[in-house]
A = this chain, B = another copy of it.
Amino acid sequence: MNKSNKVTVHDVARVAGVSKSTVSLVLRQSDKASDKAKQKVAAAIEQTGYVYNREAASMRSKSSNLIAIVINDLTNPYSAKLAVALEKQVRKLGFMSMMVNSGECVKTQSDLVAELSQYKIRAFIVVPAPNTKSNWLDALENDQTQVICMMRQVEKSTVPCVLPSNKQGTYLAAKQLLSRGITRLAFIGGDSSISDYHQRLAGFQTALNEANQASNNIFNSTTNRFGGRSAMADCLTTMPNIEGVVCFNDIVAYGVIEQLNVAGLRPGQHIGVIGFDDLDDSELMQVPLSTVRIDADAVAKSVCEILQNGSDGQFLEVPVELIVRDS
């Protein structure tokens, strides 16, 4: 088979001794085709090496099996994990998924989506880049194309959205530290340009307010390892007596731990550290990281649930789980 495949339904029909229409019915697994026809067509497909032409099918029919997954940043381990989980679930449903990466850039995001729109897309699943406009997102939706938002909200958008219980997660994290008798706490990492920052910060603050502790020790940073290091350095300068930190995510927590190492402080011993995400590495670290786990498979399943059955409300929260390790 080193030359291009030219076998069409007509060829299959001829070999099977049926009409092209019957072949088409069998291909679409219609129950209108008899078992005998199904067998003959299956054999003919085998014999001819027929390959379904999805583009021709997609053009004629009004449906599509293409799901576009638009990820904000594939180089972020949690995003990658989520993308992979989602791809798997989507494929299990019988769809074909294609992933693209916006790199947190709205322009790239809209360029990519514009190009994808030249194909018949059954659904866009989007982790929106910062500053995504709600009218842009909403306009993607039409009779044939579903749009589902994931992990991040877009203000005023009417598109269904699957979110982890951000507030609950940091609330549990702060509570855990408080229950260990740790009261001088800070929130490390992220800033208000990120939609879920507000929720995570709010959970932290709620827990501290309930315990009548100061909830205004906040150190913003970029959400990467470097940000974690520098924010922790700031924190140690401002609050030399710090006892525990809740981090915006695991990557930030990794930076925090490195900075603690530099300062000769051991996570879990001198300072309690809790992350958010539960990356695979968190369990394997020298001091295994306590963290709030977002189950990527659960998020993926919720998205797929909406994909299949639509959504009745706009928001769907996926529960998170506090994983207590040694930090």
Contact = CB atoms under 8 A, between A and B. Distances in A.
Contacts of A225: 281, 284
B284 A51 contact: no
A255 to B, nearest CB: 7
A5 B55 contact: no
B80 A96 contact: no
A286 to B, nearest CB: 4
Interface string A54-96: 1110110000000000000011010011011001100100001
Copies of this polypeptide in the complex: 2
Contacts of A83: 74, 101
Interface in A115-141: 115-120, 139, 141
Contact of A74 (B51, B52, B74, B143): B74
Size range of the interface on A?
35 or more
B98 A99 contact: yes
A28 interface: no
Given A74-B84, A141-B2, A98 B100 contact: yes
A226 interface: yes
Nearest to A255: B284
A237 interface: no
A29 interface: no
A202 B93 CA distance: 45
A262 interface: yes
A258 interface: yes
A119 B281 contact: no
16 contacts: A1-B139, A4-B145, A51-B117, A51-B118, A53-B118, A55-B59, A55-B119, A56-B59, A75-B84, A75-B280, A96-B115, A96-B116, A98-B100, A99-B99, A229-B284, A258-B284
Given A55-B58, A74-B83, 14 more contacts: A2-B142, A4-B143, A54-B119, A55-B56, A75-B77, A75-B84, A84-B103, A98-B100, A224-B280, A225-B284, A226-B284, A229-B284, A258-B284, A262-B286
